[in-house]
Each structure stands twice: as structure tokens, then as C-alpha cells.
Chains A and B, each alone.
Chain A
């Protein structure tokens, strides 16, 4: 390691809902001067806020936490720091791999194993692997079950929207506008990615730009020759493409 680099400490964040677990990481880190703990977080919301505000280089991340799990936290932050997972659950190891985690520490872990993970992190730091949304979202909820909630970050605030409350999604340039409970939320994701991850029996791509909650559709009407549109329960009208219409027919 060059002397220049050792001057600049690695800024780390410890995220765990259990106090003793956080204390242990702090204790193990005491032996590593090159690492500086910039904050500790006790839940997913705090973690998103802290990562966004403090932009740490490295995070120690528990998986099972209140409000947001570790994977959901990762989905919401940009740019993403290097991640070392710390958890008692071995079943998340594959998912951690899928989101390019630096290492995966199974509780309880020794100081030696911890040092090894740190070494990995130091080697990898600076190279920033970015996992796409699909991989993150899949990792967050487990393999084959459809997406149950949509997570949105506004500044440092996190909103959790259960998919059942969503009326429809509308593609807008690099964003998707999410219409739910009379409000519009923006999320930086491709509509096709959402479509792939949502339950195909509940959300239908009726148009290149619209993905609609089937339960919200009040009627489908013909408004011009060969042109159809759906009317939602709240009166909103959305265009239906030819392909969208055949997808709708298949489901109704």
C-alpha cells in the first residue's frame, strides 16, 4: 500500500440492529487504523440516509433488520459502497454474491476472518462493481417470488409502497412514475425491469409506456377505430396498444 493511500482512511459504516453486534465490529476494527467508522446505523432507513449523506467507502451490513433488509438498502443507494455482509443466515450467501458483495461474514465470526474480509475490501476498493436492478431486487426478496413492495428514495428519505397500492407505472425517460394513492413517485428504473419482477398476473404492460394494476381497471373501451383505452376506477384513462390489448385479453 502506498504511503499516500494510507493517509486517506477508509470510511466505513456499521449497520446492524443489534447493539452488541455493532460493538463487536467496532472492537475488531480497533486493530485496523486504516479504517475509520463514520457512523453506526440500527435499521435500514437510517442506513439509506447515512450512506446517501456520508458516502462511505465500505459498509458492514446486516441482512435482517427492521423496515428494510440489507439488500433493499443496497437497492436504494447510489453510488454503492463496497459491502461486507454480516449475518447469522447462511442462505443469503448466493444473493450476496449476486450483488457483488466483497465478503459474507457468518455470525459469529472471528477477528481473523474479519481481517480477511477487510483485506478483500481494501483490494477491491476503487473498483466499483454495480449490480443491475433486477439482480438487486431479486436478491432482496428471494429467488422466484414476485416483487411485493417498491422502494423509493427521495433525498435521504425512504418510502415503501406495497405493490397492491399501486394503480399504474408510467415510463418517463430514465424514470418510472409510480401512481399510488393519488400520489406520484419517481424511481430510476426501466419499466421492462419492473415488469419482469412484478407478478405477471397482477400487472399488465398495456402499452410501451404503461404497466397497470389489473385490479384497478374499471373498463376497456374503444374510443376510435382500432384504438382502445382502459379506464381505471378513479377515472384515469390510459392508452392500450395492440400488443397490450392481446395481453389484457389473455388475462381477463
Chain B
């Protein structure tokens, strides 16, 4: 719906402006000499108020033919045609109105004198229509800037939120505390392994802390981060945690949002492997198809695992993040196949 029609106050203001124009045109027709003051007023004002509504239709045209998306010739011909047809329609209505008024004694012969006013009315109609077109374009441009500002703000907000959530996910207190507990055990059992784990943990923390929500890194780097994470989890889970990777060489240079896979891998470990007595396997596939990066993550899981509250959160976050960064150019779907959990993600492969 037209924004003016949707608000009573705006509509009143708009009609008041048109009333002023109507009075002006009435005065002009009177001055042109072939209508009396009363005739000009009664004939022109209602007609102009009617035209006020006709001119609102240009809003739909302006939206359909945005300046930045349409050619000059196209714009010109569309608006000339629109102005001519609406002016024509209006003049036809004017003629009917003149015929109607002419039936009353006060307006005797108005219909006969109508043709003499056609040039003035037609000129006014076309010019006013174009004026309204320009006003609408300006209005749309203004709205667009406002929307862009708004979505920019929203994007920044989302990015902040994602950053925070990522940070929280990375330095997941349970992950950290469990790892430190394993580390504490390792110190007396295998000092070298303990040091190795210290280094892995430090590197993982340092790298994830450095990442921002809008940082994009080559897939190869993201995989290295994951490897650090998995190495730490392997100390905890031992042989229960098996990971297979099938990564196409040409995907390694694709740019992906930093830490995109991290929450998915955490899900696979915490909601998949952690519930399996004998452990299980996580399979990561990365392929490039027609300039798109396709990543599939599958993990074995226990079909009878208790429902957990946090389970969908990571996925929802990744989904939101993809939507914010890529709009409809990226997608993520997941499926719970009882014995397996399956996540598939497609996103544009931007190169370094």
C-alpha cells in the first residue's frame, strides 16, 4: 500500500497541498477568461482532488522502474506514457464532470466551453504528474538510505552478537575446564604430552580470540584451527574420537567466515561422540562446485541420547551468520538420521 494512503495524517497533509494547487489552477482557468470564478472553483477543485489520487499511482511506477536499475530511454518512455495516459484519463473524467455540471442552471454551457480549457488542464496534468514522479523518486531514495542505514546498523549488531557468541563458544567454559582437568592429570603421567596440550590450547585460544565476526579466512586456515581444537578433544576422548577429512585441494583457498565450522564441530563432539560408549567418527567433506563451496559434516550419534537444550543453538547461529553475510547466496541444512547427524552447507567461494 502507498505510504501516504496508510497514514491519515499524511493523507490529510497531501490533500491540503493539492487543495492549494487546485485553487491555483482554478484561478488560472478563471484568468484565462472563459470560466467564471464560481465555475472555475466548482469545476476544477474536485477534479484536482481526484487527480491527487491518480498521481499516487506513480509510486508503483517509481518502485518498478528504479532509477539505478533502469535505462534512461526506458525511464523516459515509461514516464511520458504514464503522464500522457493519466492526463488523458483525467481529461476524460473532466469532460464527464463538465457534462454533469452543465445540467445545473448555474453552470449552463460549461460543457461547451470545456474544449477551450483542455490545453491548460492537460499541461497542468502532465506537469503535476511528473512533479509527483520526482517527489516519489526523492521519497524512495530517502527511504532507501534510511533502510540501508538501518540494515547496516542491524548488521553491525548481528556481527557483534555473533562475535560474542563465538567467543563464548570458543572459550566454552566446560571445554576449557575439562581440558585443564585433563592437563592437570597429564602433568604427572606424561609431561611432554602435557606441554604439547598446553601449546595446542594456547594456540587455539590465541587464534580464536583474534578472529572477528566479519573476518574471512582461507578454508585451509579454518581447518588448521579445527585441528587444534580436535587435538585437544582427542586428549580427553582418546580413541573414541575419530575424524576423517576429505578436502578437495581447490577448496583450500576459498574464503570462509572465521570459525564458521567450529560450532558445528563442537556439536559433533558434544552431542555426537560424547554420548557414544565406543565413540564414533566425524566426517568432513569439502568440495567446490561451480564457484560454490560445499561442506558436509556428518557425525555418528546415539539415537537414544537425551534431548539437550543447547543442541540447536550452534546450528541456528551459523545459519543466521550465513544469512547476514551472504543473504540468499548461502544455505545450511541439517538432518537428524537417528544414527547419524548430517549438516550440509553451501556458500560462495570467494578467493584471496
Please give the residue numbers on chain A whose beta carbons come within 8 Å of chain B beta carbons, in ascending order.
17-21, 23-24, 27, 42-43, 45, 64, 66-67, 69, 88-89, 106-109, 141-142, 148-149, 160, 162
Taking CB atoms, residues of chain B closer than 8 Å to A66 are 274-277, 302
**B306–A107 touching, CB < 8 Å:** no
Apart from the given pairs A106-B177, A108-B177, 8 other A-B contacts in the complex at a CB distance below 8 Å: A18-B178, A18-B236, A20-B235, A24-B181, A107-B178, A108-B181, A108-B183, A148-B307
Given A20-B235, A43-B277, A148-B306, are A27 and B188 also a contact pair (CB < 8 Å)?
yes
**A88–B277 touching, CB < 8 Å:** no
B274-300 contact mask (Cβ, 8 Å, vs A): 1 or 0? 111100000000000000000000000
Count of CB-CB pairs between chains A and B under 8 Å: 64
Q: How far is the CA of A108 from the CA of B235 in the complex (A)?
A: 15
**A42–B277 touching, CB < 8 Å:** yes
Taking CB atoms, residues of chain B closer than 8 Å to A64 are 274
Given A23-B189, A42-B277, A88-B173, are A149 and B181 also a contact pair (CB < 8 Å)?
no
| Closest B residue, CB atoms, query A17 | B274
| Closest A residue, CB atoms, query B172 | A88
**A160–B304 touching, CB < 8 Å:** yes
| Closest B residue, CB atoms, query A24 | B185
Taking CB atoms, residues of chain A closer than 8 Å to B174 are 88-89
Any A CB within 8 A of the CB of B184: yes
Dominant SS among interface residues on chain B: helix
B171-206 contact mask (Cβ, 8 Å, vs A): 1 or 0? 001100110111111101100000000000000000
Partner of B182, one of A18, A45, A149: A18
Taking CB atoms, residues of chain B closer than 8 Å to A108 are 177, 180-181, 183-184
Please give the residue numbers on chain B whose beta carbons come within 8 Å of chain A beta carbons, in ascending order.
173-174, 177-178, 180-186, 188-189, 235-238, 274-277, 302, 304, 306-307, 309
Q: Nearest 4 pairs between A and B by C-beta?
A: A24-B185, A107-B181, A88-B177, A108-B181
Closest-CB distance, B191 to chain A (whole angstroms): 14
Taking CB atoms, residues of chain B closer than 8 Å to A149 are 304, 306
Closest-CB distance, A94 to chain B (whole angstroms): 17
Q: How far is the CA of A109 from the CA of B174 in the complex (A)?
A: 14
Q: How far is the CA of A224 from the CA of B302 in the complex (A)?
A: 48
| Closest A residue, CB atoms, query B275 | A66
Q: How far is the CA of A141 from the CA of B304 in the complex (A)?
A: 15
**A45–B277 touching, CB < 8 Å:** yes
Taking CB atoms, residues of chain A closer than 8 Å to B304 are 67, 149, 160, 162
Taking CB atoms, residues of chain B closer than 8 Å to A69 are 306
| Closest B residue, CB atoms, query A44 | B277
Partner of B184, one of A17, A24, A89, A142: A24
Q: Name, among B180, B188, B275, B306, the residue most crowded by chain A CB atoms within 10 Å (CB to CB).
A: B306
Q: Name, among B173, B185, B237, B304, the residue most crowded by chain A CB atoms within 10 Å (CB to CB).
A: B185
Q: How far is the CA of A88 from the CA of B277 in the complex (A)?
A: 20
**B277–A20 touching, CB < 8 Å:** no
Q: List 21 A-B contacts (CB under 8 A).
A: A18-B182, A18-B238, A20-B186, A20-B189, A20-B235, A20-B236, A24-B181, A27-B188, A42-B277, A43-B277, A66-B275, A66-B277, A67-B277, A67-B304, A69-B306, A88-B174, A88-B178, A88-B181, A106-B177, A107-B178, A160-B304
Q: How far is the CA of A44 from the CA of B99 in the complex (A)?
A: 94
| Closest A residue, CB atoms, query B178 | A88
Taking CB atoms, residues of chain B closer than 8 Å to A21 are 181-182, 185
Closest-CB distance, B100 to chain A (whole angstroms): 65
Taking CB atoms, residues of chain B closer than 8 Å to A23 are 185, 189
Taking CB atoms, residues of chain A closer than 8 Å to B184 are 24, 108
Closest-CB distance, B240 to chain A (whole angstroms): 8
| Closest B residue, CB atoms, query A23 | B185
| Closest B residue, CB atoms, query A111 | B184
Partner of A20, one of B177, B182, B276: B182
Closest-CB distance, A163 to chain B (whole angstroms): 11
| Closest A residue, CB atoms, query B239 | A19
Q: How far is the CA of A231 from the CA of B249 in the complex (A)?
A: 62
Taking CB atoms, residues of chain A closer than 8 Å to B186 are 20
Taking CB atoms, residues of chain A closer than 8 Å to B309 are 142
Q: How far is the CA of A109 from the CA of B182 in the complex (A)?
A: 11
